Amino acid sequence: MIFENRFLDKVAIVTGAGQGIGKGVAERLANEGAKTVLVDRSDIVLGVADELAKQGLQVLAVLADLETYAGFEKVVAETLKAFNRIDILINNVGGTIWAKPYQHYKEDEIVKEINRSLYPTLWGCHSVLPAMIENKGGVIINVSSIATRSINRIPYAAAKGGVNALTASLAFEQAPNNIRVVAIATGGTEAPARIVPRNENKMTAEEEVWYQQIVDQTRESTLVKKYGQIEDQVNAILFAASDEAKYITGITIPVSGGDLG
């Protein structure tokens, strides 16, 4: 359901906007009145932004590697150049790359998982703060995961645990500046096959077994015993980002069919 003009004249940055949850969030924000900046390191985001622009919506696409501080600084600079302010940041970039018991991870794989699922959120929060403080307010939504209590993806779980801690502490620190910070812990979510996979290498037979164990454990951990839909996550993220949630900050909200992570 689209709420007409719920984000009218707000400037919102959405990371990982080329596909999946990020794409759904960006589309809804734009349709609900936001000046929306769609960020991804894949050029598929250009097509998403182009389709929204054809509808007469105010959008900007930015290509950037958000695993680097310079990448996020570029996003902020281009957003301010185009729209002069930043009201909302949706930190959506992240996602487990490998699925296997922890003892099978290599050193570089652990580093890559942390770089993928923690650093973009750290850089994003840091980069937008000056603009939000100058504007005397803002909202940061960090997309986390119930995988903080999961199997076969321990580095990813550690990264999302860091996102939850960042959310709580940053909200505490920035409340005097009228900046809200909320995390949405996504549960198992059905989505189309990724256009750009997180892992370019095909899973081995053993890795497919380990991945299926994640799926089975995630489904079993929910009260409803099934995966949710992208729309379920988008609805929660947009609610948390809206003025309807103006008295909610510093918490992680699970959207996971009852799995608290």
Q: What is the 3-state secondary structure (H, E, C) of the chain?
A: CCCCCCCCCCEEEEECCCCHHHHHHHHHHHHCCCEEEEEECCCHHHHHHHHHHHCCCCEEEEECCCCCHHHHHHHHHHHHHHHCCCCEEEECCCCCCCCCCHHHCCHHHHHHHHHHHCHHHHHHHHHHHHHHHHCCCEEEEEEEEHHHCCCCCHHHHHHHHHHHHHHHHHHHHHHHHCEEEEEEEECCEECCCCCCCCCCCCCCHHHHHHHHHHHHHHHHHCCCCCCEEHHHHHHHHHHHHCHHHCCCCCCEEEECCCCCC
- pLDDT higher than 80, residue 45: yes
Mean pLDDT of the chain: 95
Which residues does 131 contact at the CB level (< 8 Å), separation at least 6? 76, 80, 85, 86, 138
Q: What is the pLDDT of residues 201-239, one digit of tens each?
A: 788 899 999 999 999 999 999 999 999 999 999 999 999
Rounded Cα–Cα distance for residues 144 and 206 (Å): 27
- Give the active site residue among 156, 211, 227, 247: 156
Q: Which two tokens stand for residue 50?
A: 């182009």
What CATH architecture applies to the domain 11-255? 3-Layer(aba) Sandwich (3.40)
Q: What is the pLDDT of residues 236-250, one digit of tens each?
A: 999 999 999 999 999
- pLDDT higher than 70, residue 199: no
| Mean pLDDT on 109-124 | 98
Query: With the C-alpha atoms ordered 116, 120, 123, 126, is the resulting torsion angle positive or negative?
Result: negative
- pLDDT higher than 90, residue 31: yes
Q: What is the pLDDT of residues 61-87, one digit of tens each?
A: 999 999 999 999 999 999 999 999 999
156 is catalytic: yes
The region, left, alpha or beta by phi > 0 then psi within -120 to 50, assigned to residue 137 is left
This prediction has a pTM of: 0.95
**pLDDT for the residue 261:** 78
Spell out the domain ranges in the chain.
Answer: 11-255
Rounded Cα–Cα distance for residues 46 and 168 (Å): 33
| Mean pLDDT on 118-141 | 98
